[in-house]
């Protein structure tokens, strides 16, 4: 169905996801029945304190949009105040879904302004865990299987050793990596896929750390009104700084390229 539904009754993926969370909370309120949900095939999220965003910043990483999860909330009670706190925290958590791949929020030129105040661009990056070097980085307007395939293709074309004896490509469980298009692409090049456990971003910690570094050292220090400038700056950051100049404690204070030569 290609027709777009508008108005208050439109159900977006995030709304569908949110409704599931509300139903679980409203039905069970402060009673935490994690074992019940696990037995019924529902992903269980560890205890979350909605007043402390550090406790929920990563807890939904890898969860499919529109999926159903069970959430434990600290100190919830059957009251309007507790419910409001719960939903406020959930709204903030929704904004962090897939946040590790969102690069920037840029200002829209005056002549383009209307109801749209910000735009998003995405990046897909592959790093080599031997020395933490970035071997491929591709940016785009959408986070799709095609973006993932382009990134893997770039890694293969620029680093032929990737195909020797096969490699393991680890990622989160984003739909772009679980799609048939991407899994078929990996199979065609003898690339074995590995994925983080649902709700466990720590399984992909090196990638999370890279995106945090990219944002703090480049993205957050600039304001972009042109995506071409953003994309070229990321390429230069990888080539001229991250791989060749920036030392890493993981590499005993060597740069990724220095580590590779040792």
Domain ranges of the chain: 13-97, 100-261
Residues 19-53: tens digit of each pLDDT: 444 444 434 333 444 444 455 555 555 545 544 54
Cα 149 from chain centre: 16
pTM for the model: 0.57
Neighbours of 43 (CB within 10 A): 18
Residue 203: its pLDDT value, please?
82
Backbone CA torsion sign across 22, 37, 195, 258: positive
Mean pLDDT of the chain: 69
pLDDT 10s digits, 65-122: 444 444 544 334 445 555 555 555 555 544 444 344 444 334 434 443 333 345 788 9
Residues 210/125, Cβ–Cβ less than 8 Å: yes
Residue pointed to by tokens 């865990």? 129
Q: Which CATH number fits domain 100-261: 3.30.420.10, 3.20.20.70, 3.40.50.280, 3.40.50.1000?
A: 3.30.420.10
Tens of pLDDT, residues 121-168: 899 999 998 899 999 999 998 889 999 999 999 999 988 877 776 788
pLDDT tier at 221 (50, 70, 90 boundaries)?
confident
pLDDT of amino acid 68: 46
């Amino acid at each position: 169905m290609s027709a777009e539904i508008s108005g208050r009754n439109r159900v977006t993926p995030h709304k569908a996801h949110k409704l599931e969370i509300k139903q679980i909370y409203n039905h069970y309120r402060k009673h935490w029945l994690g074992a019940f949900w696990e037995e019924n095939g529902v992903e269980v999220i560890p205890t979350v304190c909605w007043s402390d965003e550090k406790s929920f910043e990563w807890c939904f990483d890898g969860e499919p949009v529109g999926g159903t999860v069970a959430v434990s909330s600290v100190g919830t009670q059957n009251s309007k105040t507790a419910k409001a706190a719960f939903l406020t925290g959930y709204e903030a958590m929704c904004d962090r879904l897939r946040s590790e791949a969102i690069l920037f929020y840029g200002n829209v030129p005056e002549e383009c302004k209307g109801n749209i105040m910000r735009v998003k661009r995405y990046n897909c990056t592959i790093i080599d865990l031997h020395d933490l070097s970035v071997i491929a980085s591709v940016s785009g307007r959408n986070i799709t299987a095609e973006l993932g395939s382009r990134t893997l293709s770039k890694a293969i074309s620029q680093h032929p050793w990737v195909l020797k004896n096969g490699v393991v490509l680890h990622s989160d469980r984003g739909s772009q990596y679980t799609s048939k298009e991407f899994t078929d692409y990996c199979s065609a090049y003898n690339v074995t896929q590995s994925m983080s456990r649902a709700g466990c971003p720590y399984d992909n910690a090196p990638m999370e750390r890279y995106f945090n570094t990219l944002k703090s050292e480049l993205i957050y220090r600039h304001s972009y009104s042109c995506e071409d400038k953003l994309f070229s700056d990321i390429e230069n950051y990888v080539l001229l700084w991250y791989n060749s100049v920036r030392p890493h404690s993981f590499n005993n204070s060597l740069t990724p390229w220095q580590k590779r030569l040792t």
